[in-house]
Amino acid sequence: MKIKLLVALGAIISIQPCLADSISKEIEAVEKGLRSTTRFVNDPVWTIERRMEHYGVPGVSIAVIKDYKVYWVKHYGVTDKETNKAVNDNTLFQAGSISKPVAAYGALKLVEQKKLSLDSPVNEQLVGWKIPDNEYTKKRPIALKHLLNHSAGLTVHGFGGYAVGSPVPTVTQVLDGKKPANSAAVRANILPETEFRYSGGGYTVMQKLVSDVTKTDYPEIMDKLVLAPLAMTRSTYEQPLPPEKLKFAAAGYLPNKQPVPGKRHTYPEMAAAGLWTTAEDLARFAIDVQLSIKGDKGRILSQSMTNKMLTPFVSKDTGLGFFIQSKNNSTYFGHGGWDEGFSADLMAHKNDGYGVVIMTNSNHPAFIEELRNSVAAYYQWDNFLDPELVALPISKAEQQRIVGRYRFSPDMIFTIFAENDRVFMQYLNDDTMEVFRIGDNQYVRREFARKFRFEKSQGKGSVDLIFGINNERTHVRARMKKGEIVPFELVMAGQLQKAEKRYATFFAKYPDEKGSVEWNLLKRADKLVSENKDDTAIALLRMSSRLFSNSPNSFRKLAQYYQEKGDKKNAILNFKKALAIQPENQQLAQALKSLGS
C-alpha cells in the first residue's frame, strides 16, 4: 500500500511506508546531485531547485525503477503557471517521441498475434493509402521492421503539432503533406535497410497500418494492446484529449519560458508523438520490457520478441522502437521525447531491473539529462556515466587549425573561435558553448556528451569537424569557404533586404528547408523582442510573411506583436491574412473577435 506525503516545493511523493525514512534520504541525495553528462574533475553538482529555476522548468515528475518495481515517484512544481496547480500523480504530460517505443510494443504484439509481419511489405496491408512506389521501394519494399527501426528511407523527421483552434489533418493528409497538414509528404528517397534516418513519418505509416489491420481507431487499439494490460490507466493516445482527461493535462512551456499558445498542441501523428502519460505509467511500461527479457514474465510480448525489439538492426544503436546503449558489458534501452512545450526521457537497464522516467512541461532536455545523471550516480548504474575528464590546453597552432565557420545545415552554421586562449562554439542565434580538448584531436562541450574531432577533408584541403569518434556514428560538418554565407547570416546581421533576395534562390535549391527556415526566423523574432528590439522583429516578420505567404505562422506572430504594441489596425490586418490561409482556425477567429473585427 502506498502513501502520499506533501513535501517542499509543492512536491508529492509516493513510497512504501516501511521504506519512507531510508528512501527519503535517497531522494534527497538525488535532489542534490544534478550534474552534466560531460563532467570535469572538481566540477560542482546542483540541486533540483536551482536547475529548475536556471532553465525555467515549471513542473517535473520522476519515477525511479529498482529491482523491477517502481521504487519511488516524486513530483515538483506546477502544471500551469496561471493556475499554480501542483504537479501530482494524475498530471498528464505529453511524451513526445517516447510515444514511439510504446507504439512499437503494440505493433509487435500484433506480429505475435499473426496479424502483422515484420518482414512483409506494409503496402500489402495498408488500406486506402499506400507508400508511393519508386526506384527505392521497387528494389526493396518497406516492411514493418524498417518503420520501427528508422531504416525505411522515409522522409519527415518529426512533427510540430497543431495549435488550439487550428484545423487538424487526417492521417492520410499528414502522409501526403496536404492541407491542413503543416509537414511535408512522407516519401521514400533512400533505399530501405541501408542506413538509419530518424522518421516520425515512418511511425505515422505504422499508425495507419495498425488501424487498418485491426479496423480500430488508434487510441482504442493501443489501449487494448498495451495501456490497459499494463495498468497504464492514466495514459492515452487520444488527440486532442477528451474533457475527462484534459482537466489533468499540464500546460507546455517553450525554451524561452513563454507558454505554448493555447497551452498545448494536438498531434494527429499519435504513434510518433501523441501519447499523454505520467512518469509512473511509463515506468510500468519499461518494467514490463525488463520482465519480458528476464524470462517471459512480461504481460505483452514474449522474451524472444522483446529480445528482437532490443537487438540493433541496420545501425548499432537502434532496435525496433528503442535506442540501445551498450557500454562495456551493460546494455541500456531508452528514448527521449520532445513535443511543443514538453520534454521527457526514459532510460532502463536491459538485464538488471533499474531505470528512470522523467517528464517535464518545458523544452529543456539538458535539465532532464542532469537529473537522470544524478539518479545514475546515486544508484551506481553500471557503466552508464563516463569518467570525469581532464581539460587539456589547446595550443595556438591547434587553435589556428580548427577555428572557422562550419555548415550544420543548408541555412545554419556554427563558428569555432578562440578568445583568451579558450575555444568556443556558437550556432547562429544561440548561446556560446566552450570547447574542451580531452585527448589527441578529441574535443567535447560541457553541454553535450558527443565528442568530435577535426580532420582534413579529402580533395579540398580544408579542415572539417566530424562528430563521433572511435566506433560512433559520424556526422561531417564541412568547413565553409571564405566569403561563403548562408541567408540566415544576413538575417543575423540585420541585412533583411539582402536576406530576402538570397532566400529566393536558396529555396529553389533547397525546397524542403522552408519549414526549418521559417521556424528559425520566428525564433529570431522572439529573441529580438526579448532584447527590446521590437521594430527589427516586426521588420523580420514582415519579410518572413512575404517569404511564406501560404503559411499562417508569420502572419499570426506578426499580428500578435502588433497587438502587444497597441497597433490594432495592423493586428487585425495580419490576423485576417492568417485566417484566410486557415479559415477553420478558431483561435485566429477568436483573436479577431476580441479586437472587434
Classify burial at 114, counting beta carbons within 10 Å of its beta carbon; exposed 0-12, middle 13-18, buried 19 or more: exposed
Q: Which CATH class is domain 396-477?
A: mainly beta
**Residue range 193-211: average pLDDT?**
97
Give the cell for residue 465.
569537424
User: Whole-angstrom Cα distance, residue 269 to residue 248?
Assistant: 21
- Residue 467 to residue 479: CA distance in whole angstroms: 13
How would you class 307 by CB atoms within 10 Å of its CB: exposed for 0-12, middle for 13-18, buried for 19 or more?
middle
Q: pLDDT at residue 311 above 80?
A: yes
**Each residue's pLDDT tens digit, 125-139:** 999 999 999 999 999
Q: What is the 3-state secondary structure (H, E, C) of 152-213?
A: CCECCCCCCCECCCCCCCCHHHHHHCCCCCCCCCCCECCCCCCCCCCCHHHHHHHHHHHHHH
355 within 8 A of 348, measured Cβ to Cβ:
yes
pLDDT of residue 12: 52
Q: Is 93-378's fold the same as 487-594's?
A: no
pTM, 2 dp: 0.84
CATH number of 93-378: 3.40.710.10
d(CA 253, CA 512) in angstroms, rounded, equals 28
User: Rounded distance, CA 19 to CA 32, Å?
Assistant: 20
pLDDT over 90 at 323, yes or no: yes
- Model confidence pLDDT, tens digit, residues 425-472: 999 877 899 999 999 999 999 888 889 999 988 776 789 999 987 666
Domain ranges of the chain: 93-378, 396-477, 487-594
pLDDT in tens, 94-153: 999 999 999 999 999 999 999 999 999 999 999 999 999 999 999 999 999 999 999 999
Helix, strand, coil percent values for the chain (each to nearest 5): 40, 20, 40
pLDDT for residue 17: 59
pLDDT tens-digit series, residues 15-30: 555 567 789 999 999 9
Those residues with Cβ within 8 angstroms of residue 398's Cβ, 6 or more apart along the chain or in another chain: 437
**Lowest-confidence segment of 48-52, 290-294, 387-391, 444-448 by average pLDDT:** 444-448
Tell me which CATH code domain 487-594 carries. 1.25.40.10
